[in-house]
Amino acid sequence: MRELIYVFIGGGLGSLVRFLLGKWVNAFHSSNFPFGTFTINIIACFVLGFMIGLADHKQLLTPASRLFWAVGFCGGFSTFSAFSSETLTLIQQGHNSTMLLYILLTVVVCLTATFGGLFIAQRI
């Protein structure tokens, strides 16, 4: 039962931070590129890699902390469904080059961020 509470609280906090950060980032841009979701997913991937590194490679996090951060917070903070929805919107609006750029950048930069977080955690 405790595991569910850790995931629940982490997910709620992650979702709240995602909402606020997304609004803040999007306030600075007027282009059709979804900067808010892009930024959030990069940060979430970095945090996930970092937390996995601390938990699995350094044993610095308890299993409960790992659940809170990796499953709860990062799960609530990152948003693949928003990525999919924004990609579909770009296609529907005929912004094909922006859509391709968004997909490529998201996959490459998010994977790089995850590995970067893991790399940094392993060096601590």
Summarize pLDDT for 13-43 with one digit per residue, the tens: 999 999 999 999 999 988 999 999 999 999 9
pLDDT, averaged across the chain = 95
Taking CA 117 as the corner, what is the angle to CA 17 and CA 22, rounded to the nearest 5 degrees?
25
| Count of beta carbons in the 10 Å neighbourhood of residue 55 | 19
Query: 């997913």: which residue's tokens?
Result: 41
**In the structure, how many helices (H) and strands (E) does the chain have?**
6, 0
Query: 């994977």: which residue's tokens?
Result: 111
Would you give the distance in Å from CA 75 to the centre of its chain?
8
Summarize pLDDT for 44-74 with one digit per residue, the tens: 999 999 999 999 888 999 999 999 999 999 9
Cα–Cα distance between 7 and 21 in angstroms, integer?
21
Q: Please state the pTM of the whole predicted model.
A: 0.91
